[in-house]
Amino acid sequence: MDVFTDLVRGFRADGAMFGQSILTAPWSHRFAHDAALTVCTLLEGSGWLLPAAGEPIRLECGDVAIVRGPDPFVVADEPGTEPQIVIHGSELCLSTADGTNLAETTRLGPRTWGAARTGTAALLIGAYQARGEPCDRLLCALPPVAVVRADGQPCPEFDLIKVELERERPGQQLVLDRLLDLLLVCTLRDWFARPEADPPAWYRALADPVVGTALRAIHDEPARPWTVAGLARAAGASRAAFARRFTAMVGEPPLAYLTGWRMTLAADLLTEPGSTVATVASRVGYADGFAFSTAFKRVRGTSPTAYRAGGRYASGSGPSRVPASSVAKPATS
């Protein structure tokens, strides 16, 4: 396992909104669903994505945009087209003209919405809630909008999605969930590989034969009693050379990174029903609750007990959470 896998796995579709809208110009949708991440792509036609801040972004057929929440955004045929629909949730897609809920009245078939089966564009939307502390690290590494251009290259995920959307079959939601996960992972991986992405240090370090090996070892067995010498042996390097290389590439010493990742895992575990400080300490590699509590308070700024009692970031420590609530079915103009 590697750090990218650990961070992305918290974004897992489970009955997620995933469907297409068949659109005829002029069209414009405003998404106000508070999802942590939204995947947008045009299966047909072209359009514009208007983020909450910044300039409009042109989307050609096959481009994939990942929009970081919770701020609302608009997808339209032209930047100047006023939204005809505001999407608030899975059962609330309101017409801006008269407030009518269009979530059900415009359904054309399984996960397809529109006024007619033909149009000038087909917009595919999938929205995610963030599950767990590791998601925060990934969200912090992303810009408000990340776009991976098709550049004329075929996307096998699109072909699979189109086939699955054509007709309703047993297990379709499960298949669509997994296809959405596949599209998200592939898009994120392609984004971080692009020169404009400026990926975080931990992502760049994965390609290094020494540091990448150590990172995978840490994420494979975070509770193992790792030492710098032990990680160096696993990476096939001397202790001193490994420590220098790891710190230079990741931005912090190996054991500081290990402790930070353990505390990220611990913060999630502390929110589980029935968890105790002692059981969480054991699961993240600490022999006793006292040593774990000391490390947790040093890294998170609050004790494990206070964190568990007050909820996530009760003391104001930690990265700013990107909230997510219900997600929306696409509607039509």
State residue 314's pLDDT score.
39
| Residue 331 confidence (pLDDT) above 60 | no
Q: What is the mean pLDDT of residues 276-301?
A: 94
Torsion angle defined by CA atoms of residues 119, 75, 137 and 148, in that order, rounded to the nearest 10 degrees: 60
What DSSP string describes 89-151?
A: ETTEEEETTT--B-TTTTEEETTEEESSS--SEEEEEEEE---STHHHHHHHTS-SEEEE--T
Quick check: 63 and 147 in contact, CB under 8 A? yes
Candidates 139, 253, 223, 154; CA nearest to 188 is 139
* Confidence tier at 311 by pLDDT (50, 70, 90): low
User: Other CB atoms closer than 10 Å to residue 1's CB: what's the count?
Assistant: 14
Where in the chain are the domains?
3-197, 203-310
Both structure tokens of 308: 């568990």
User: Other CB atoms closer than 10 Å to residue 230's CB: what's the count?
Assistant: 15
Both structure tokens of 248: 């230079």
* Confidence tier at 132 by pLDDT (50, 70, 90): confident
Write down the CATH number for the domain with range 3-197.
2.60.120.280
Q: For residue range 33-59, what is the model confidence (pLDDT) as tens digits?
A: 888 889 999 989 999 999 999 999 999
Residue 149 CB-density burial (10 A; 0-12 exposed, 13-18 middle, 19+ buried): middle
Q: 62-76, 200-214, 230-244, 315-329: lowest mean pLDDT where?
A: 315-329
State residue 90's pLDDT score.
64
Rounded to whole angstroms, the Cα distance separating 257 from 24 reads 51
Q: Which of 99-108, 251-260, 304-313 is the most confident on average?
A: 251-260
Q: For residue range 235-283, what is the model confidence (pLDDT) as tens digits?
A: 999 999 999 999 999 999 999 999 999 999 999 899 888 889 999 999 9
Q: What is the mean pLDDT of residues 300-306?
A: 93
203-310, CATH topology level: Arc Repressor Mutant, subunit A (1.10.10)
Q: For residue range 161-212, what is the model confidence (pLDDT) as tens digits?
A: 888 877 778 888 788 888 888 888 999 999 988 888 888 898 899 999 999 9
State residue 15's pLDDT score.
52
State residue 171's pLDDT score.
84
Residue 91 CB-density burial (10 A; 0-12 exposed, 13-18 middle, 19+ buried): exposed
| Residue 319 confidence (pLDDT) above 50 | no
Which residue's structure tokens are 């409009």?
Answer: 56
Quick check: 135 and 10 in contact, CB under 8 A? yes
Quick check: 76 and 48 in contact, CB under 8 A? yes
pTM of the predicted model as reported, rounded to 2 decimal places: 0.79
| Residue 61 confidence (pLDDT) above 50 | yes
* Confidence tier at 64 by pLDDT (50, 70, 90): very high
Q: Which of 100-114, 170-184, 281-295 is the most confident on average?
A: 281-295
* Confidence tier at 1 by pLDDT (50, 70, 90): low
State residue 313's pLDDT score.
42
User: Other CB atoms closer than 10 Å to residue 132's CB: what's the count?
Assistant: 19
Three-state secondary structure call for residue 222: coil
